[in-house]
A and B are shown apart, each in its own frame.
Chain A
């Protein structure tokens, strides 16, 4: 059971906009920044979004992040086949004094 809750799966067609949610609590997302990682199977995770809505250099602006209360969201617009991957949210948890991850969302591009 992950501390952060994500839907196990999401899907969309090319060009569509999809959103992935991440539900936390007051001790993690509610009081700290949300992060998002993309993981293509067999490879290491890649940082997509940091500090709720910042993109590292090289990440397309099709990817965007937001936070509201104790939840974070990742939006992908103009969906492409190469976006098919697993997506994880993460954040610092004050109660645990450690990093927590969501269980991951498998995105399928139909």
Chain B
């Protein structure tokens, strides 16, 4: 059974860079059939897609976050990662990693449990 687990600091200072890693078990990030993505949810609000990455490093980013987002994949560790720079309080959210049903045009189906990241000094 595919499982995804987010990890990273739960508290980040304003203007710093948020860094999260998603560890995949029961499957491989090298599988050519799937994209892997990040979605976030501010407290009490809706879902926002951050971006998605393919095993070869091909990425799609949310245009509203593109200037601050970097995603990468580490096939040797079966992980993929998210970096969001110059964070503000508005970036406080639960961050989910997920696997798409297939290519980029198919939605996420497997989700991690999510990790709360708070931006505060």
A residues near B (Cβ < 8 Å) are 2, 32-33, 35, 37, 43-47, 50-51, 56, 88, 90-92, 96-104
Q: A44-B112, A45-B39 are in contact. List 10 more A-B contacts (CB 8 A).
A: A46-B111, A50-B107, A90-B47, A92-B107, A98-B49, A98-B51, A99-B49, A101-B47, A103-B46, A104-B47
Residues from chain B with Cβ under 8 Å of A47 in the complex: 101, 107-109
- Min Cβ gap A98→B in Å is 5
B34 at the interface (CB under 8 A from A): no
Q: Give the segment of B10-18, B22-30, B55-63 that binds chain A.
A: B55-63
- Chain B residue at minimal CB-CB distance from A92: B105
Residues from chain B with Cβ under 8 Å of A88 in the complex: 46-47
Residues from chain B with Cβ under 8 Å of A37 in the complex: 47
Residues from chain A with Cβ under 8 Å of B63 in the complex: 96-98
Do the beta carbons of A98 and B106 come within 8 Å of each other? no
Do the beta carbons of A44 and B107 come within 8 Å of each other? no
- Min Cβ gap B42→A in Å is 12
B32 at the interface (CB under 8 A from A): no
Given contacts A56-B109, A101-B49, contact A44 B114 (CB under 8 A): yes
B residues near A (Cβ < 8 Å) are 37, 39, 46-49, 51-52, 60-63, 96, 101, 104-109, 111-114
Residues from chain A with Cβ under 8 Å of B114 in the complex: 44
Given contacts A35-B107, A92-B105, contact A100 B49 (CB under 8 A): yes
Do the beta carbons of B46 and A44 come within 8 Å of each other? no
Do the beta carbons of B47 and A45 come within 8 Å of each other? yes
- Min Cβ gap A63→B in Å is 15
- Min Cβ gap B61→A in Å is 7
Task: Determine the distance from Cα of A110 to Cα of B62 in the docked complex, in whole angstroms.
Answer: 37
Given contacts A47-B109, A98-B62, contact A92 B104 (CB under 8 A): yes
Do the beta carbons of A102 and B107 come within 8 Å of each other? no
- Min Cβ gap A2→B in Å is 6
Do the beta carbons of A98 and B46 come within 8 Å of each other? no
Residues from chain B with Cβ under 8 Å of A56 in the complex: 109
